[in-house]
Structure 1
Amino acid sequence: MVDGLLQVEGGRPLSGEITVRGAKNLVPKAMVAALLGTTPSVLGNVPLIRDVEVVSGLLTLHGVQVDYDQTAGILRLDPSRVEAAHVADIDAHAGSSRIPILFCGPLLHRLGEAFIPDLGGCRIGDRPIDFHLDILRSFGAVVDKLEAGIRLTAPDGLRGTVIELPYPSVGATEQTLLTAVRADGRTELRGAAVEPEIMDLVDVLQKMGAIISVDTDRIIHIEGVEELAGYRHTALPDRIETASWASAALATGGDVFVHGAHQSHMTTFLNIFRKVGGAFDVRDDGIRFYHPGGDLRSIVVETNVHPGFMTDWQQPLVVALTQADGVSIVHETVYENRFGFTKALCKMGAAIQVYRECLGGTACRFGQRNFYHSAVISGPTPLRGADIVVPDLRGGFSHLIAALAAQGTSRVEGINLIDRGYEHFMSKLGSLDAKVTRLA
């Protein structure tokens, strides 16, 4: 069965205006944080994406009253009647989402137990849940692995601890924050991720009554409190979606104004965008991204944790780099398996080779582990329409960009994956004068 099929008539510059709402990498986590409160929470700027639907369903299963005004983008979450959910229901609602692992800390505080099914997510790298389980164990949780999933209990409650991350993992940092804020005593997290979405989650928790301090050396201190209240918060805009549309404008020779985009969240991307030859205008209500004419320039770029060049930015950018003059090098240091999407681009006419070596930058943790984590892109190469299958969320949107930039007709299968992180992307394509038809 075809899981979403789109026909794209390429070779047309994208032109027009779109709006980007709250970040996919923040909104579901802020929704989970509402479990920690004793009073209702209100979250604004919420996009209508699959992950929001999944977390809404999981919260409802646990007794949280969820009211979502989709037009206004406002979520009201009342956790006053939190209860344990049935295992089968959790498994059915979670699907391939990895969000349920973040329910554990809040549920252990509220109910003394938690259950998570087998976890899915985009197949872009090794993201084992054992990392999360070790963190929960350090707080005092007891982990029992069952056939249907994992059951956690906290017979003696959760206690503050010291955690040192070997890598600034966003998920591990979120897990620690959501667990530490109500643990007994103090928690020190070393090697924390400090992405804007993490800082926004810190803001949410502080509004609820948490005591959190973030040092400049990636150390976060949390003093546990006995009780948290609800919050009122407006989610920061999605910088990944913003960069995706910016790259689409560049690859197609277009001009796209992104309402809601914030310069302060995009600094590193904007620098690379300009180096490649793209242009942008920052306004109070958003950012205009456009191709100013002339040849695009090849570059060398290395992904990294914030404030470096974000891993989720590289896949859309690679499509634009196929149209740049010369040889570009992209070194991926965050996820070890993120260049699988380039096979479809090569099928469309791109000249991309992937390597196991750390090219164009410093040696990274994947250099000796036999992963293809560097890409060399030679250009410019005309792209031709083709039949392609979406591999994952960000790679899928990159395939869509390639289809929009290519001459001729493409059929893109599996676009339902894109719904996970791009709100109303079909209507946005229409507003940008793209010629697309959904076939299934």
Structure 2
Amino acid sequence: MSSTFHVRGGHTLDGEITVRGAKNLVSKAMVAALLGEQPSVLRSVPDIRDVQIVGELLKVHGVKVERDVESGVIRMDPSAVEKAHVADIDAHAGSSRIPILFCGPLLHRLGEAIIPDLGGCRIGDRPINYHLDVLRSFGAVVDKREMGIYITAPDGLHGANIHLEYPSVGATEQVLLTAVRAEGVTELTNAAVEPEIEDLIAVLQKMGAIISVQTDRTIIIEGVDTLGGYEHVAIPDRIEAGSWACAALVTKGSVFVRGAQQKPMATFLNTFRKIGGGIDISEEGIRFYHPGTPLKAIAVETDVHPGLMTDWQQPLVVALTQADGISIVHETVYENRLGFTSALNDMGAHIQVYRECLGGSSCRFGRRNFNHSAVISGPKTLHGAEITVPDLRGGFSYLIAALGAEGISAIHGIDLIDRGYEQFREKLTALGAEFWED
């Protein structure tokens, strides 16, 4: 049973922490190693649960994995790739979506792939079907069996013309990992172009892939017969950096995030500065701080890159509870990402959610029954409360709120944060937070 995480709020966060490789790149680069005939080396790998999950999944498929947690280096030798038992895949995958991205590489290496029956409650049918449709477009044959989904490619995988209705990161990754060794040319239109996608393309190019990115979200992949290994330093985690930045703002503190980079965070930095946050950018990292003057209310909406990343939205909402005036947040990427605000209201925030598109343009959720816009009135004093972590990003946002609240908060399910935030307990200690677990 998970422990309860207690936070005594009101302490100013001050000091330095380090961010390593992005969760949204590292796990995919590890999967990419399956495509090669030679070993690969990935550096700046964070010590998070998702890395452990992918490492174990690689091992059950015969990949030799050597990991130095302290230095953040992982070496993967895929020369002896083999079929894995579905029970082993299921045991290590848990509720992770990663097994879906193994399919393309395994079809190339083994001629078959198996996805456990993850079930709608754990991942939902729509994401699975979306990935399966992509694989079918390359010539894969999907057979749903009792033990799960069995995928083969009796005639091999062939290049295809694929258009995404929405520039989904997961679908773009699926296409890239499948197309690089498919026969012929693949054209992907309306692709995701996030920095982590660009970094995955850089990894695949190091392995011998031929990939060109056009200015109109079109990616052209020329399939090759074989790929080698790679050596790569993962792009820093811009989500984690933005989360600590918001924690600095909410606690009226100053946090230097070593490793944070300006370019992939440009949209966040603009938003942070509009709120009134202070920023000092150097080659070593970025210092985020509260300037001592009142924060400003803003209107903002999330979008695919180069827009404001949806994973920054939840920490920013907590920061906006401390801004002077009425802020509007329009979530256009995930339909159900504002549910976490109810717990913030229990802590003293004043946040109302709406089905209508507020704060700018209309979006695909505007005609559907989803609460995807929020109006935040501030500044409001937050108070300690008993709260339960709903998801990874929402969970860290609750932690930020607890750090800035008066009194003690009890947070349940805090272990979920370990999926994407490396050594966050040690980092909290380094910044002067007061917390304990029981």
CA distance in 1 between counterparts of 2:389 and 2:303 reads 24
**Helix, strand or coil: the match of 2:24?**
coil
Name the amino acid aligned to 1:350: A
Identify which range, 186-195 or 125-134, moves more after superposition: 125-134
Residue of structure 1 in register with 2:6 after alignment: 7
Name the amino acid aligned to 2:415: N
Relative to structure 1, the CA distance from residue 123 to residue 150 in structure 2 (aligned partners, 3 Å threshold; closer, same or farther) is: closer
> What is the CA distance between 1:126 and its match in structure 2?
8.5
Contact 1:66 1:75 in 2 (8 A): yes
Residue of structure 2 in register with 1:81 after alignment: 80
**Helix, strand or coil: the match of 1:26?**
helix
Name the amino acid aligned to 1:288: R
> What is the CA distance between 1:340 and its match in structure 2?
1.1
CA distance in 2 between counterparts of 1:52 and 1:28 reads 6
CA distance in 1 between counterparts of 2:131 and 2:387 reads 35
> What is the CA distance between 1:282 and its match in structure 2?
0.3
Residue of structure 1 in register with 2:185 after alignment: 186
CA distance in 2 between counterparts of 1:43 and 1:120 reads 32
The reply to whether residue 170 of structure 1 matches residue 169 of structure 2 is yes
Name the amino acid aligned to 2:364: R
Relative to structure 1, the CA distance from residue 157 to residue 47 in structure 2 (aligned partners, 3 Å threshold; closer, same or farther) is: same
CA distance in 1 between counterparts of 2:418 and 2:117 reads 22
Structure 1 unaligned blocks of 5 or more = none
Q: How does 1:82-231 map to 2 (within 5 A)?
A: 82-119=81-118, 128-231=127-230
CA distance in 1 between counterparts of 2:147 and 2:25 reads 28
Contact 1:96 1:121 in 2 (8 A): no
> What is the CA distance between 1:146 and its match in structure 2?
1.9
Structure 2 unaligned blocks of 5 or more = none
> What is the CA distance between 1:187 and its match in structure 2?
0.2
> What is the CA distance between 1:124 and its match in structure 2?
10
CA distance in 2 between counterparts of 1:19 and 1:324 reads 27
> What is the CA distance between 1:5 and its match in structure 2?
1.7
Residue of structure 2 in register with 1:427 after alignment: 426
**Helix, strand or coil: the match of 2:327?**
strand
Deviation per residue, 1:37-70 (Å, 9 max, x gap): 0000000000000000000000000000000000
The reply to whether residue 339 of structure 1 matches residue 338 of structure 2 is yes
**Helix, strand or coil: the match of 1:128?**
helix
Relative to structure 1, the CA distance from residue 120 to residue 266 in structure 2 (aligned partners, 3 Å threshold; closer, same or farther) is: farther
Residue of structure 2 in register with 1:355 after alignment: 354
Relative to structure 1, the CA distance from residue 105 to residue 118 in structure 2 (aligned partners, 3 Å threshold; closer, same or farther) is: same
Contact 1:330 1:374 in 2 (8 A): yes
CA distance in 1 between counterparts of 2:434 and 2:85 reads 45
> What is the CA distance between 1:148 and its match in structure 2?
2.8
Residue of structure 1 in register with 2:18 after alignment: 19
Name the amino acid aligned to 1:421: G
Deviation per residue, 1:137-185 (Å, 9 max, x gap): 0000000112232110001100000000000000000000000000000
Residue of structure 2 in register with 1:387 after alignment: 386
Name the amino acid aligned to 1:368: R
Relative to structure 1, the CA distance from residue 263 to residue 126 in structure 2 (aligned partners, 3 Å threshold; closer, same or farther) is: farther
CA distance in 2 between counterparts of 1:56 and 1:281 reads 36
Deviation per residue, 1:98-118 (Å, 9 max, x gap): 111000000000000000113
Relative to structure 1, the CA distance from residue 179 to residue 311 in structure 2 (aligned partners, 3 Å threshold; closer, same or farther) is: same
> What is the CA distance between 1:125 and its match in structure 2?
9.2
Q: What RMSD, in angstroms, separates the aligned Cα atoms of the two structures?
A: 1.3
Relative to structure 1, the CA distance from residue 126 to residue 141 in structure 2 (aligned partners, 3 Å threshold; closer, same or farther) is: closer
Contact 1:63 1:83 in 2 (8 A): yes
CA distance in 2 between counterparts of 1:120 and 1:392 reads 18
Deviation per residue, 1:278-321 (Å, 9 max, x gap): 00100110000000111100000000000000000000010000
TM-score scaled to structure 2, two decimals?
A: 0.98
Contact 1:132 1:172 in 2 (8 A): yes
> What is the CA distance between 1:119 and its match in structure 2?
3.9
Deviation per residue, 1:52-99 (Å, 9 max, x gap): 000000000000000000011000000000001001110010001111
The reply to whether residue 367 of structure 1 matches residue 390 of structure 2 is no
**Helix, strand or coil: the match of 2:102?**
helix
Name the amino acid aligned to 1:360: G
**Helix, strand or coil: the match of 1:266?**
helix
Aligned-residue identity in percent: 72
Contact 1:32 1:103 in 2 (8 A): yes
**Helix, strand or coil: the match of 1:75?**
strand
Residue of structure 1 in register with 2:238 after alignment: 239
Name the amino acid aligned to 1:220: I
CA distance in 1 between counterparts of 2:431 and 2:379 reads 24
Name the amino acid aligned to 1:200: D
Relative to structure 1, the CA distance from residue 114 to residue 315 in structure 2 (aligned partners, 3 Å threshold; closer, same or farther) is: same
CA distance in 1 between counterparts of 2:326 and 2:229 reads 52
Residue of structure 2 in register with 1:54 after alignment: 53
Relative to structure 1, the CA distance from residue 127 to residue 265 in structure 2 (aligned partners, 3 Å threshold; closer, same or farther) is: farther
CA distance in 2 between counterparts of 1:84 and 1:415 reads 35
**Helix, strand or coil: the match of 2:221?**
strand
Relative to structure 1, the CA distance from residue 122 to residue 177 in structure 2 (aligned partners, 3 Å threshold; closer, same or farther) is: farther
Name the amino acid aligned to 1:349: G
Relative to structure 1, the CA distance from residue 221 to residue 138 in structure 2 (aligned partners, 3 Å threshold; closer, same or farther) is: same
Deviation per residue, 1:375-424 (Å, 9 max, x gap): 00000010000000000000000000000000000000001100000000
Name the amino acid aligned to 2:57: L
Contact 2:186 2:221 in 1 (8 A): yes
Residue of structure 2 in register with 1:405 after alignment: 404
Name the amino acid aligned to 2:134: I
TM-score scaled to structure 1, two decimals?
A: 0.98
Name the amino acid aligned to 1:366: F
CA distance in 2 between counterparts of 1:121 and 1:346 reads 30
Name the amino acid aligned to 1:233: H
Relative to structure 1, the CA distance from residue 4 to residue 148 in structure 2 (aligned partners, 3 Å threshold; closer, same or farther) is: farther
Name the amino acid aligned to 1:346: N
Relative to structure 1, the CA distance from residue 125 to residue 192 in structure 2 (aligned partners, 3 Å threshold; closer, same or farther) is: same
> What is the CA distance between 1:127 and its match in structure 2?
5.5
